[in-house]
Amino acid sequence: MLCYTGKPIFSVDIHPDGTKFATGGQGEDSGKVMIWNMAPVLREEDEKNENIPKMLCQMDNHLACVNCVRWSNNGLYLASGGDDKLVMVWKRAAFIGPSTVFGSSSKLANVEQWRCVTILRNHTGDVMDVAWSPHDIWLASCSVDNTIVIWNARKFPEMVTCLRGHTGLVKGLTWDPVGKYIASQADDHSLKVWRTVDWQMEANITKPFSECGGTTHVLRLSWSPDGQYLVSAHAMNNSGPTAQIVERDGWKTNMDFVGHRKAVTVVKFNPKIFKKKQKNGSSPKPSCPYCCCAVGSKDRSLSVWLTSLKRPLVVIHDLFDKSIMDISWTLTGLGMLVCSMDGTVAYLDFSLDELGDPLNEEEKNSIHQNIYGKSLAITSTEAQLSTTIIENPEMLKYQQERQISAQANSAPGSTGPESSAPKLNSVMNGESLEDIRKNLLKKQVETRTADGRRRITPLCIAQLDTGDFSPALFNSVPILPSGSSMSCQLAPHVKSSLLITSASKIEPMKALDSRFTERSKATPGVTSAISSTVKTKEDTSSDSEDKMATINKNLSFSKRKPELLLDGGEVVEKRKKGRPRKDKMAAPIAQSFNQITPPAEREPSRVAAPPAHVAVLRLPTPSTQKAFSLQVSMEPSVFLEVENEMSVVAGSKLSQLRCSRDGRDWNTLLPSSVVTAAGSSDILAVACEDRMLSVFSSCGRRLLPAIQLATPVSALHCSAHFVMVLTAGATLSIWDVQKQKALVKNESLQTILSGADTTVSQSLLTQQGVPVIGLSNGKSYCFSSSLETWTLIADKGDSLVQCADFRSCLSTQDAPVSSGPLAVMQGRNLNAGRLASRLSSTPHHLQHSMTLAFLENQLASALTLQSAQEYRYWLLIYARFLVNEGSEYRLKELCKELLGPVHKSAATAWEPTTLGLHKRELLREVLPVIGENLRFQRLFTEYQDQLELLRNK
């Protein structure tokens, strides 16, 4: 069983769609990044259900401890930074299949495949924090080498700049939601704010940190979603630890959150902005919007503050055995995960009664209009536009004209939102907005408490929503009805030994001792300074007191054991029969590339039953649902929603297909219920109950006339511009939509479905339009349209695979190709020679022949699958094996094939490329390998000379 057995977890981050979360920490001998399913954390019945995986993926590529994991705002990438000085960026691999660890009967599996797409190398010390800018334009990383590096997230691994100025270890980063500033906090007792316009320092704040002694592992600071406040981690006030509040207006430091007994390590603002919840029946009072912020400390406690209350909304003492390391809120603003050095993660769940009502888009936009003179929608696109380089001169001309007319319209003195249209760049750089904001700040509510202290109720400005996800599409994030109680449950990797905390421990912060009260006088205007113990009438906000009482009463803890669901053969079998997902989008992408397993077996409807002489129905078919939706492409993001039998016209029932591509929508009607749908970034295909297959472009244009299928659909896949259909009658067809022709036509699976109980357990379509079918007996086939036959590409029971010994031929530079179709069908890591060690008694020549046969099989399979990367990968291993084993005859044959004829002649049938790879380029890669063995010096020189001759021709 794999889980963080008590090893520290340094970071946690919830995916923007709320379906999964990532953790980073220490593995056995490496850093560990893990991706977990959110469902078992949110719902007890899902946690108990063995078919719902708890862990989705584990990545051990970091060479040392992982200090930070962060999802990009659009949810496509995950960035991780570690003690190995590296920042790795991960992306979900296109081929998805439950890949068990190869050859093991264990249930350990990666349900999702995430692969490292880029490694960012520049830091000379441990990377402590990483942060994506709004709109994912930049990725920032900071390190104990005292620097912050800004990377161009549109063109990894390009570096934009390196910010130098800290004289101590930089341990935290946060972007302002407008993308105008980035703030960093370091061990040098300073918090620095940098401008993104010229990457120069805007402010250097040191006063609140001058007393800070000792050090914390991280200093995770946070910017409020309205951009008004920046809250630091570890600060001091009258020798008490605080979280310092820095106002954006003039970078003033008059307020702080007090009460923790030890240094604050992490601060995290809730992504939502709230307003007071209206009591039923009472007339709505206009209330000032406010933000919500969670603070975690080395004292193992967590406090949650609303900027509208003087005291914390809730404090949880001794939540963990060790320091809190990271906090992540769900995008709904109602749930939060907190992780600790003690190797556990806690989930806390709030209700709207406690936090208030989140502002809706309109309210946010109106606040935005007041402050930025722009609505949210415009700002977000312009922020992206302003970083786009205009290449077309015509385009530039129009852009300049537009700016001139915009300036002419915004006459001085006019205040209406319509008339104030700032220049293109002023939105991104926020220039003209600062003046508007200053005026607004003068209007903020200031009250005096009984003892004469100033108390400012901050004005909040709406968050710039940086996600590309429309919340409407992600109805998978459950808002849990928890009344006014706050429950705290522990997520997957939790120690069972934790005691259940008694409610009595949870109480308002004991910050009421004289030390805090005294020093608060010295710091006027402390929002959160907790007033003296003698409560006067005006002082007590009965509202918050009652709230505290109910929270204390109802606060229940349930801590759970770390039972990891290790997804293996049986689970997949169960899933094949298909329990329809509770939440439509729970696994949005899993359905997109290949619906691995046909959901549910059902009786073919009598109406659509084929005539008796047609093939018997061998494969299960998905059942018709009233409505379903799926994400068919990540980049660009394409969502598909189907609503069956939405209206009846002239006796026929119509079904609606809605598609949203990068926020642009289209819809179409079909005369029959949609059974299953699939798509790629180019095309969408839907199969209906009347056995009609329709294919549309991603903009909604019909690309093929409706195709009549002989039997109902069992599985449907799209990849690039290819559509593949597997029917219940066990036939396979593939169409190339671009060329409007069939690549494979009604090919029967009878040949490969040997034995009555063999069925299809997995099917996929590669980017090149090659179909791959995995069977329940462990064999995988692909249909080669050039050879017009089924070819075996993987067999989990094949002894050659288990006895082949090619470990010595694996190159350190070549990352294993784990996302190609061959690797997906063969299992995650082909354990080179799993049985080879046991076969030490096997004569060497037998071992040699087995390995040779295996490697040649791999090459042939990669060729049939048209998987160029995997072909190159196995070719180099094959070459290395031949060199190590001294097989001169085969090596010569290989070189000859790659070099081809030196002189042109009519008789030659040699092709210069294979799968788009130039053979002579491949030979250039093989030659250094040959050069490693002295006995092949002659061969090496001969082919090197030939290549030289050809180059000079």
Contact 87, 130 (CB under 8 A): yes
Least confident of 37-46, 362-371, 487-496: 487-496
Residue 79 has pLDDT above 50, yes or no: yes
The reported pLDDT for the residue numbered 22 is 94
Q: Residue 441: helix, strand or coil by DSSP?
A: helix
pLDDT in tens, 84-119: 999 999 998 865 555 544 443 444 567 888 889 899
Strand order from edge to edge, sheet including 674-679:
674-679, 683-688, 692-697, 702-708
What residues contact residue 159 under an 8 Å CB cut-off, 6+ apart? 120, 122, 149, 150, 151, 152
Distance between CA atoms of residues 161 and 152, nearest Å: 9
**Do the beta carbons of residue 9 and residue 34 sit within 8 Å?**
no
Tokens of 595: 């619906």
- Provide the pLDDT for residue 814: 66
pLDDT of residue 566: 37
Higher pLDDT, 507 or 53: 53
How far apart CA 642 and CA 630 sit, in angstroms, is: 9
DSSP, residue by residue, 561-590: --------HHHHHHHHH-PPPSSTTSSTTH
Question: 3-state SS of the chain: helix, strand, coil percent to 5?
Answer: 25, 30, 45
Count how many residues are written for the chain: 953
574 Cα distance to chain centroid:
27
- pLDDT (tens digit per residue) in 777-826: 888 999 998 899 999 988 877 777 777 888 778 776 666 677 788 888 88
Given a cut of 70, is residue 424 above it in pLDDT? no
Q: What DSSP element (H or E) covers 163?
A: strand 159-164
Q: Is 457 helix (H, G, I), strand (E, B) or coil?
A: strand
User: What pairing do the DSSP bridges indicate for beta strands 240-247 and 652-661?
Assistant: unpaired
pTM exceeds 0.85, yes or no: no
Residues 6+ apart with CB under 8 A from 568: 98, 100, 105, 106, 107, 108, 109
CB 82 within 8 A of CB 810: no
Q: Is 71 a residue whose pLDDT tops 90?
A: yes
How much is the mean pLDDT over the chain? 75
Q: Give residue-wise pLDDT tens across range 839-850.
A: 556 677 788 888
Query: What integer pLDDT is reported at residue 92 of this predicted model?
Result: 87
Higher pLDDT, 524 or 804: 804
Query: Which of 193-207, 274-288, 806-820 shows the lowest per-residue confidence on average (mean pLDDT)?
Result: 274-288
**For range 45-71, the mean pLDDT:** 89
692-697 and 357-358 beta bridge pairing: unpaired
Q: With 0-12 CB in 10 A as exposed, 13-18 as middle and 19+ as buried, what is 536? A: exposed
- Give CA–CA dist 44/563, Å, rounded: 13
Per-residue confidence at 555, pLDDT binned at 50, 70, 90? Answer: very low
For 677, the token pair is 């749908």
User: Diameter of the chain by CA atoms?
Assistant: 103
Quote the radius of gyration of the chain (alpha carbons, Å): 31
Burial of 558 (0-12, 13-18, 19+ CB in 10 A): exposed
| pLDDT tens, position by position, 295-331 | 999 999 999 998 888 788 899 988 888 999 999 999 8
Q: pLDDT for 622-667, tens place per residue?
A: 988 889 888 888 888 888 999 998 888 887 889 999 999 887 889 9
Name the least confident of 563-572, 737-746, 869-878: 563-572
Tell me how far CA of residue 18 lies from CA of 464, 473, 587, 860, in angstroms.
19, 12, 11, 42
Q: Which amino acid, 203?
A: A
On whether the CB atoms of residues 467 and 74 are closer than 8 A, the answer is: yes
Strand-strand pairing, 147-152 and 138-143: antiparallel
Q: Under DSSP, is residue 821 helix (H, G, I), strand (E, B) or coil?
A: helix
Better pLDDT: 356 or 310: 356
pLDDT band at 161 (very low <50, low <70, confident <90, very high): very high
Per mean pLDDT, which of 4-13, 736-745, 800-809 is the most reliable?
A: 736-745
- Say whether pLDDT at 703 is over 60: yes
The DSSP result for 125-140, as a single string, is S-EEEEEEPGGGSEEE
